[in-house]
Amino acid sequence: MKAVVIGCGRVGSSISLQLQREGWDVSVVDENEDALSRLGEHWPGVFLVGHGMDTDLLREAGIEEADAVVVATDGDNTNIVIGQVAQKRFGVGCVVTRVLDPARARLYRERGMRTISPTEVAIGELMEAVRACEVPTPTQVVHR
């Protein structure tokens, strides 16, 4: 299985390493050459320096043979555009895009893009954790 990961920050590097451990052939694209250090000294996959919207670079990363593309840069607009390019231009069947803004994530999800919103996930998890606490029921406020 072939995966292309765009963005090699904490999320992209962790996904890349996990996929590689699971036997995937992984190519990573990041604008910052120093991001390669997040993958470790013995990274067996491909690492390309450049912008994820560069279609020639995406081809070099193997997007035309990719089974999955994960887009996890630090910019929602960039992620959405790259996700759409991977999905519509290159026909990748599994494109997963990180979108920090929950409203935008829902909007694009409704239009057929697989989006993950860490903000949305955190809100849900935090609310669940608060509800799970044994907190006394709020009492009525008395004004004097």
Q: What is the pLDDT of residues 74-109, one digit of tens each?
A: 999 999 999 999 999 999 999 999 999 999 999 999
- Rounded to the nearest integer, the mean pLDDT of the chain is 94
Q: What are phi and psi of 29, to 5 degrees?
A: -120, 130
pLDDT of residue 142 exceeding 80: no
Please report the pLDDT score of residue 58 as a whole number: 98
Give the tens place of pLDDT for each residue, 6-40: 999 999 999 999 999 999 999 999 999 999 999 99
Average pLDDT of the segment spanning 119-140: 84
Average pLDDT of the segment spanning 113-142: 85
Q: What is the spatial distance between Cα 48 and Cα 10, in angstroms, rounded to a whole number?
A: 17
Domain boundaries, the chain: 2-132
pLDDT band with cut points at 50, 70 and 90 for residue 49:
very high
Domain covering 2-132, topology = Rossmann fold (3.40.50)
Please report the pLDDT score of residue 140 as a whole number: 59
- Which positions ≥6 away from 48 have C-beta within 8 Å? 27, 28, 29, 30, 57, 60, 61
| pTM score | 0.89
